[in-house]
Homo-oligomer: A and B are copies of this chain.
Amino acid sequence: MSTVREWNELASQLGVDSIRCSTAAGSGHPTSSLSAAHLLAVLWSDHLRYDVADPKNKANDRFVLSKGHASPLMFSVLKAVGAIGDEQLMSFRRFGSPVQGHPVPLPDMPWVDVATGSLGQGLPIALGMALAMKMDGIAARAWCLLGDSEVAEGSVWEAMANASYHGANNLIAILDVNRLGQRGPTMLQWDLDAYTARALAFGWHAIEVDGHDPEAIDGAFVEAERADRPAIVIAKTEKGHGVSFLANREGWHGKALSEEEAERAIAELGGPREISITPPKPETGVAPPANGAAVVLPEYREPIATRKAFGEALAALAARPEVVALDGEVSNSTHTEDFQKVAPERFVEGYIAEQNMLGMAVGMQALGKVAFPVTFAAFLARAYDFIRMAAISRADLRISGSHAGVSIGEDGPSQMALEDIAMMRAVHASTVLYPCDGNATAALVQTMANLPGISYLRTTREKTPVLYDPGDPFPVGGSKTLRSSGEDRVTLVGAGITVHEALAAAETLAGDGVSARVIDCYSIKPIDEATLRAALTQTGLLLTIEDHWIEGGLGDAVLAALAEQGTPFGRVVKVGVTEMPGSGTPQELRDWAGISARRIAERVRKLLA
């Protein structure tokens, strides 16, 4: 146990170092760091059970800096625990440095588990970590430092509700109520009682504390650790605390001090120090991971909806003990309920809170889980910022979205995903998959479980015929040519539901004496450029057909691939959804959108006329 003097000295050092590195960088958030210096001094000295030399040890507690802009403080802590040196600290925000403007996990920054900086994301992530620890029977805790501005984000309340519901008593939030947001006072300013009332109403244990009194902070942490439910330490703090011209002053958000100002501030804080601390060691060892059983994929010979095949394949993957599924309260539609039936202890019902679901998945994968967050593809748009940030976190996530396109039919446009491919293509290093039958789905789900980065599988609501044999290979970046001859005068490129329409169109066209090649482009990113290029060269006309807005989807992916090598190419015509759909049967709507067999054949005839 540290003494009050030691905590205060460390807090001063963290403040000084936060100022030093941000002033050297010429930007950053020293004042948002100063408000939380005492909180982290006490946490890292005496509460966070953490092996700095082995940051990925599963027995470790985890710390998530949800208020990612307080990165100077985070890196100052990492210096105090000996993770990084002063020189590295002073490379803050420089090109090539792992000491970035906001924390990012990198090979040379293993003490950061997840990227933060988009506010309101830390608590959902920490909740996922806490639940993963519980799944693994590890007596570790997830700690999360939040700023007061960010609790305006609904995602925080999604996590608050889910944390108490799921009994995450190993989750401790620390709320740094420094009263001042970016452009002025927060909604609640220093009304700590309002924060407490909200936390209590959401089923948490809440403790108010003076955030610059280390002894009180220590007591609050002890109380939080002993709580029978998730606990939040609500700390009254001052932005810029400890420096007369910064403390509780407006106009200092996100501003580095000049060298002269820094000198004055550092003097007020008692000058630089060289304190080193060692956090408490993690308490428990961790059992080696259980051995998985062999995965036996389902095999299909009759029509089945790819969403159902997805659920069954996911259930088969439950044989691997690291696989978890997360649901947005639609498990009977996406068929993650099939996974729940066989592995209920690794199924997380996230209710209708897609942001928190994605955040939890990011937290779980940081602890080694192979996480599949799943909902209607349309509602993944709700979580796009989390997906964007997950890519910065270098997270491995397996996302699936069901009910793609106008093909859902009667429910109408609010439930139709028509932008999900565009959205997922524009995620760094993502993989975008869209199978058309049950066997392709099963194969791709198994593949996803081993893919790095963010992969996305789009599924269809209605049953589709089986085109492939069980066990057929579906490599990422591949395609399947379903019809081909030397006489082909046109290539029809589909994915998912439109593969079947393209096949039927080719059949019709064959009746008219027009031979059409049909390609199933199940891997949209990466895409099978060689096959597409050869098809265009050989047939001279290529149509992409997609149940998606005409922008950003299969068609754009095909055009981009064909442009890649720079060969002047034949004619490519994109066919997709261009007008706002309403209700109708799937077939009526595909016909209306121009992506039905009949409309495709009609279009080809006109183009060849």
Q: Which A residues are within 8 Å of any B CB, using their own CB?
A: 25-28, 68, 93-98, 100-102, 104, 115-120, 149-150, 152-158, 161-162, 165, 181-183, 186-187, 194, 197-198, 200-203, 329-333, 337, 351-356, 378-379, 381-382, 384-385, 388-389, 391-392, 394, 410-415, 418-419, 422-423, 425-429, 525, 549-553, 555-557, 559-560, 563, 566, 568-574, 579-580, 582-585, 588-589, 592
User: Is B414's CB under 8 angstroms from A97's CB?
Assistant: no
User: Is A385's CB under 8 angstroms from B385's CB?
Assistant: no
Bound CA–CA A525/B550 (angstroms): 12
A104: chain B residues within 8 A (beta carbon): 412-414, 582
The listed residue with most B CB atoms (<10 A of its CB), out of A27, A201, A203, is A201
**Contact of A428 (CB < 8 Å), options: B98, B153, B158, B580:** B580
User: Is B426's CB under 8 angstroms from A422's CB?
Assistant: yes
User: Is A556's CB under 8 angstroms from B560's CB?
Assistant: yes
A582: chain B residues within 8 A (beta carbon): 95-98, 100, 104
Nearest CB on B from A40, distance (A): 20
Nearest CB on B from A348, distance (A): 13
**Contact of A356 (CB < 8 Å), options: B115, B154, B555:** B154
Nearest CB on B from A422, distance (A): 4
User: Is B568's CB under 8 angstroms from A411's CB?
Assistant: no
Nearest CB on B from A181, distance (A): 5
**Contact of A154 (CB < 8 Å), options: B102, B156, B379, B427:** B156
Nearest CB on B from A377, distance (A): 11
**Contact of A101 (CB < 8 Å), options: B115, B354, B415, B557:** B415
**Contact of A551 (CB < 8 Å), options: B381, B425, B583:** B425
User: Is B182's CB under 8 angstroms from A330's CB?
Assistant: yes
From A352, which residue of chain B is reached at the shortest CB distance?
Answer: B152
User: Is A351's CB under 8 angstroms from B152's CB?
Assistant: yes
From A356, which residue of chain B is reached at the shortest CB distance?
Answer: B154
A428: chain B residues within 8 A (beta carbon): 418, 549, 579-580
**Contact of A95 (CB < 8 Å), options: B161, B165, B566, B584:** B584
Nearest CB on B from A501, distance (A): 17
User: Is A568's CB under 8 angstroms from B566's CB?
Assistant: no
A194: chain B residues within 8 A (beta carbon): 201, 203
Bound CA–CA A337/B181 (angstroms): 15
**Contact of A329 (CB < 8 Å), options: B149, B423, B550:** B149
With A201-B201, A379-B118, A382-B384 in contact, is A583–B422 under 8 Å at CB? no
Given contacts A94-B584, A422-B426, 6 further A-B contacts (CB under 8 A): A100-B412, A181-B351, A183-B330, A183-B331, A200-B201, A555-B560
With A198-B198, A413-B104 in contact, is A351–B187 under 8 Å at CB? yes
**Contact of A118 (CB < 8 Å), options: B152, B414, B549, B566:** B414
Nearest CB on B from A397, distance (A): 15
